[in-house]
């Protein structure tokens, strides 16, 4: 039996939670899962126990939850559908990259695997979605890759924006208006801890200043 949309949303939330755990962290706190899905801690715990009973997760009372290999594979396949749908909506349907996340949230649960594979071929078997997020392969696997953000990268070094770690439409519009979409070249000129600000220089040599919170959501790699 195919998993329900609710199950898929829980798997995806736990998967995201695992990706943000500190070094050495193993379990995603139940409070984080509940907050990500907008439900009470009790509701989240009930569903996580069901996931554990079906072999999709490991649950430790009062500690947290982690996906099993089977759970990670299913979560990866949901992400694959989501990210391919986003790219299709942008490249084929002409939608703004700031608008497609919510549409993909709905479509990821109903689009067939056959249609997803047709989309994949039509798009040329892409590796990343419009926001720079990696697209899992057909087995739901994502190649792990460490990326710095604009708070941790070296100063005065040519960088390329690789990924935007926030799908909020207002934030994406801000990124677009400031020429900081994935693929753009930038260089961090200075960081002001007292002002919580980062000064950047773009490829067109224009300097701009953004807040530290925004800077933490722009992932980069060395290279122009």
CATH number of the domain within which 97 lies:
1.10.10.10
Name the band, by pLDDT with cuts 50, 70 and 90, for residue 136: very high
End residue of a domain, out of 144, 170, 192: 144
Positive or negative CA dihedral for 2, 120, 179, 212?
Answer: positive
Q: Which pLDDT value is given to residue 224?
A: 64
| Whether residue 192 has pLDDT greater than 80 | yes
Interval 35-64 mean pLDDT: 95
Q: Which pLDDT value is given to residue 142?
A: 87
What are the φ and ψ backbone dihedral angles of 219, each rounded to 5 degrees? -95, 140
Distance CA 163, CA 131 (A): 6
Range of the domain at 126: 80-144
164 and 131 housed in the same domain: no
End residue of a domain, out of 94, 111, 144: 144
96 and 158 housed in the same domain: no
| Whether residue 50 has pLDDT greater than 90 | yes
| Whether residue 1 has pLDDT greater than 70 | no
Per the structure, the count of domains in the chain is 3
| Whether residue 190 has pLDDT greater than 80 | yes
End residue of a domain, out of 144, 167, 183: 144
Q: Which pLDDT value is given to residue 22?
A: 81
Write the CA distances from 31 to 19, 44, 221, integer angstroms.
16, 8, 32
96-106 per-position pLDDT tens digit: 999 999 999 99
Residue 103 lies in a domain: yes
């Amino acid at each position: 039996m195919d998993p329900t949309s609710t199950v898929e949303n829980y798997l995806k939330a736990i998967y995201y939670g695992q990706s943000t755990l500190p070094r050495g962290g193993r379990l995603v706190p139940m409070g984080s899962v509940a907050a990500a899905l907008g439900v009470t801690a009790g509701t989240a715990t009930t569903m996580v126990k069901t996931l554990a009973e079906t072999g999709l997760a490991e649950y430790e009372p009062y500690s947290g939850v982690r996906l099993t290999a089977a759970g990670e594979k299913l979560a990866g396949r949901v992400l694959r559908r989501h990210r391919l749908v986003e790219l299709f909506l942008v490249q084929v349907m002409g939608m703004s990259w700031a608008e497609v996340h919510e549409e993909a949230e709905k479509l990821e649960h109903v689009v067939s695997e056959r249609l997803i594979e047709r989309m994949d071929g039509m798009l040329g078997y892409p590796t990343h979605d419009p926001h720079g997020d990696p697209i899992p392969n057909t087995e739901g696997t994502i190649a792990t890759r460490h990326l710095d953000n604009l708070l941790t990268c070296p100063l005065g070094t040519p960088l390329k924006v690789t990924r935007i770690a926030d799908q909020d439409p207002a934030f994406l519009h801000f990124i677009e208006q400031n020429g900081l979409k994935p693929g753009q070249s930038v260089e961090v000129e200075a960081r002001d801890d007292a002002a919580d600000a980062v000064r950047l220089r773009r490829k067109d040599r224009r300097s701009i200043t953004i807040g530290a919170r925004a800077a933490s959501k722009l992932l980069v790699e060395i290279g122009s």
